[in-house]
């Protein structure tokens, strides 16, 4: 049922936010600090936006929500080297997310 899905998606976001490798994803990337980001990444996404969209009921389905999380991780891989601190955090948090996703659904 959709209501149960929404609750599961909210709890997954909370678990991601509490993960030690969530620090690069808690807020939108600062484009003053990373001036090329807007040019390279066409659709920025972060955990604060995903959380807001959940709260505002903007996701049509759990797949819609999952798409935003995968967009966030793919943006990270596009912009960051795999062996950089942000790149490593992205790989770790993605793995944590996919595990939680499979636990719930």
Ligand X SMILES: Cc1ncccc1N[C@H]1CCCS(=O)(=O)C1
Comparing every residue's Cβ against ligand X, the nearest one is 24
3-state helix, strand, coil in the chain (%, to 5): 65, 0, 35
| Shortest distance (Å) from residue 29 CB to ligand X | 5
Are 32 and 70 in contact by the 8 Å Cβ rule? The answer is no
Nearer to ligand X, 25 or 65 (CB): 25
| Shortest distance (Å) from residue 53 CB to ligand X | 18
Nearer to ligand X, 82 or 103 (CB): 82
| Contact residues: ligand X, CB under 6 A | 24-25, 29, 33-34, 76, 79-80, 86
């Amino acid at each position: 049922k959709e209501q149960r899905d929404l609750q599961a998606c909210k709890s997954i976001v909370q678990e991601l936010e509490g993960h030690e490798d969530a620090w690069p994803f808690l807020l939108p990337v600062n484009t003053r600090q990373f001036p090329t980001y807007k040019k390279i990444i066409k659709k920025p996404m972060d955990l604060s936006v995903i959380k807001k969209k959940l709260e505002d009921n903007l996701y049509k389905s759990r797949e819609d929500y999952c798409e935003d999380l995968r967009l966030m991780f793919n943006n990270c891989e596009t912009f960051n080297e795999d062996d950089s601190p942000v790149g490593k955090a992205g790989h770790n948090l993605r793995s944590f997310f996919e595990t939680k996703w499979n636990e719930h659904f």
